[in-house]
C-alpha cells in the first residue's frame, strides 16, 4: 500500500453537503478495449480526431470513499506503487473537478484497489477517474446525471466519459463524445494478455504519425491512412452473434505503431491465435493484447496457453460488454 496523500482543504463538518451518504461507499469500474479505433489527422490542439467503438470488459478497479475533513488517497494492487500520489493523480484531479463543478469542498477519504494494469491501453487511469466522479457524486449527494458526470469526465481525459457509461458505445471527437450504439445483446468472450511494462499513449500516437509520414508518398496504406470511416461493418457484426464475423470487422489504427515500438507484441498475438482465439489485436495504444474467443471454454484454454507460453505477464478470460462505473 502507498503512503496516504493528505491534501489539506479547509472543509469543516459544517461545510459538508446536507445530502449524500457518510460512506463507506464502493464503486466498481471496468477496463475498456477499442473494437474499432480509426485515427484521423493530428489536430491543432495536439489530439487526433478519432472514430472509435469502445467496449467495457470485466476487468475491474474499485474505489472506496468515506467522509473526511481533508482529501486522503491510498492505493494498492496492480501497479499502484508506481502511480503519482500528487495533483497529477487522475483520482485527485477527478475529486477537484467534481468539487469545482458542484461548489463542494474536495474533502474525501479514498482507497483505490487496482486490478487493471497501468499504461496498458485499457484506460485504467481513466477508469479510476470515472469511478471517483461517480463515488464522490454519491457520497457528497451532488446528484449529477450521468451526462453531467460525462461532461466533467471529458476535462480529465479522452476515455473518461465512456467509463461513466460502459457497455459498447461510439466515441468521436478526441474520443470524449459518446453516443450509444445498437450493439445487440450478446456477451462476447475475451482474453486479456497483460504485457511487462507499459507504453506511453502520446508516444504511440507520435509513432503512428511518423509511420504515416514515412509511408505516405509511395505506399498505399489501405485503411490505415488517416481516413475516418464509419465503423459500419463492426456495428453490423456486433448485432450478429458470430465471433468469426466480429473478428473480421475489428480494427485498430494504433496497432502498427504499438508493434513498431514493441515488436514482441506480434508474437503475443500469434501465440493467442495459435492457441485457438478467433482474433487477436492490440488494445488501444497497447501493450495489452486482447483475444476474441468463440466461447467461455475456448477463452479458458487460450488464457492458459498464453500464460504458459511466456509471451505475456498474465492472461485472463473475461466477457463484455459490462456496465460502466457503478456503486456496488
Ligand atoms: O486524453 P488523454 O489524456 O487520454 O490523452 C493522452 C494523450 O494521448 C494526449 O496528450 C495525446 O498525446 C494522445 N491522444 C491523441 N489523440 C486522441 C487521444 C489521445 O493524440 N484522440
CA of 256 to the centre of ligand 1 (A): 17
Q: Whose CA is nearest to atom 21 of ligand 1?
A: 174
pLDDT at 28 over 90: yes
Bigger pLDDT: 19 vs 276: 276
Average per-residue pLDDT for the chain: 92
Residue 121 CB less than 6 A away from ligand 1? no
H or E segment at 133?
A: helix 124-140
Active site residues: 32, 159
Q: What is the tens place of the pLDDT at every residue in 59-76? A: 999 999 999 999 999 999
- pLDDT for residue 22: 77
CA of 202 to the centre of ligand 1 (A): 6
Residue 158 CB less than 6 A away from ligand 1? yes
Instruction: Determine the atom of ligand 1 nearest the C-alpha atom of 157.
Output: 1
Residue 202 CB less than 6 A away from ligand 1? yes
Map residue 39 onto helix, strand or coil.
Answer: strand
Cα separation, 32 vs 52, in Å, equals 12
Number of neighbours of residue 305 by Cβ within 10 angstroms: 18
Q: Whose CA is nearest to atom 13 of ligand 1?
A: 202
Residue 205 CB less than 6 A away from ligand 1? yes
Residue 48 CB less than 6 A away from ligand 1? yes
CA of 123 to the centre of ligand 1 (A): 11
Q: How confident is the model at residue 57 (pLDDT cuts 50, 70, 90)?
A: very high
Q: To which residue does cell 467495457 refer?
A: 56
CB contact at 8 A, 58 and 153: no
Residue 201 CB less than 6 A away from ligand 1? yes
pTM of the model: 0.92
- pLDDT for residue 10: 36
CA of 166 to the centre of ligand 1 (A): 20
pLDDT at 99 over 70: yes
Q: What are the cell numbers at 36? A: 474499432
- Is the sign of the CA dihedral 204, 316, 51, 212 positive or negative? positive
Bigger pLDDT: 222 vs 247: 247
Amino acid at each position: 500500500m502507498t503512503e496516504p496523500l493528505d491534501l489539506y482543504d479547509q472543509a469543516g463538518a459544517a461545510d459538508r453537503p446536507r445530502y449524500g451518504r457518510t460512506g463507506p461507499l464502493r464503486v466498481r469500474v471496468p477496463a475498456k478495449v477499442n473494437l474499432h479505433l480509426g485515427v484521423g489527422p493530428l489536430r491543432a490542439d495536439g489530439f487526433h480526431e478519432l472514430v472509435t467503438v469502445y467496449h467495457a470488459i470485466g476487468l475491474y478497479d474499485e474505489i472506496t470513499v468515506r467522509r473526511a475533513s481533508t482529501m486522503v488517497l491510498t492505493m494498492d494492487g496492480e501497479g499502484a506503487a508506481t502511480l503519482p500520489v500528487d495533483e497529477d493523480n487522475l483520482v485527485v484531479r477527478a475529486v477537484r473537478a467534481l468539487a469545482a463543478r458542484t461548489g463542494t469542498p474536495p474533502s474525501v477519504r479514498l482507497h483505490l484497489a487496482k486490478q487493471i494494469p497501468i499504461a496498458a491501453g485499457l484506460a485504467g487511469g481513466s477508469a479510476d477517474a470515472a469511478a471517483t466522479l461517480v463515488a464522490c457524486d454519491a457520497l457528497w449527494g451532488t446528484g449529477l446525471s450521468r451526462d453531467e458526470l460525462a461532461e466533467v469526465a471529458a476535462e480529465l481525459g479522452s476515455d473518461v466519459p465512456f467509463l461513466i457509461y460502459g457497455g459498447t458505445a461510439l466515441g468521436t471527437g478526441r474520443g470524449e463524445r459518446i453516443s450509444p450504439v445498437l450493439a445487440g445483446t450478446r456477451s462476447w468472450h475475451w482474453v486479456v494478455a497483460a504485457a511487462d511494462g507499459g507504453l506511453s499513449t502520446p508516444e504511440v500516437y507520435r509513432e503512428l504519425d511518423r509511420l504515416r509520414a514515412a509511408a505516405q508518398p509511395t505506399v498505399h496504406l489501405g485503411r490505415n491512412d488517416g481516413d475516418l470511416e464509419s465503423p459500419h461493418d463492426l456495428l453490423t457484426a456486433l448485432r450478429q452473434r458470430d465471433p468469426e464475423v466480429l473478428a473480421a470487422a475489428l480494427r485498430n489504427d494504433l496497432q502498427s505503431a504499438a508493434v513498431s515500438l514493441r515488436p514482441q507484441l506480434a508474437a503475443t498475438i500469434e501465440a493467442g491465435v495459435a492457441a485457438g482465439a478467433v482474433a487477436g489485436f492490440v488494445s488501444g495504444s497497447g501493450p495489452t493484447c486482447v483475444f476474441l474467443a468463440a466461447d467461455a471454454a475456448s477463452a479458458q484454454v487460450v488464457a492458459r496457453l498464453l500464460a504458459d507460453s511466456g509471451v505475456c505477464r498474465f492472461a485472463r478470460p473475461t466477457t463484455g460488454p459490462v456496465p460502466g462505473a457503478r456503486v456496488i
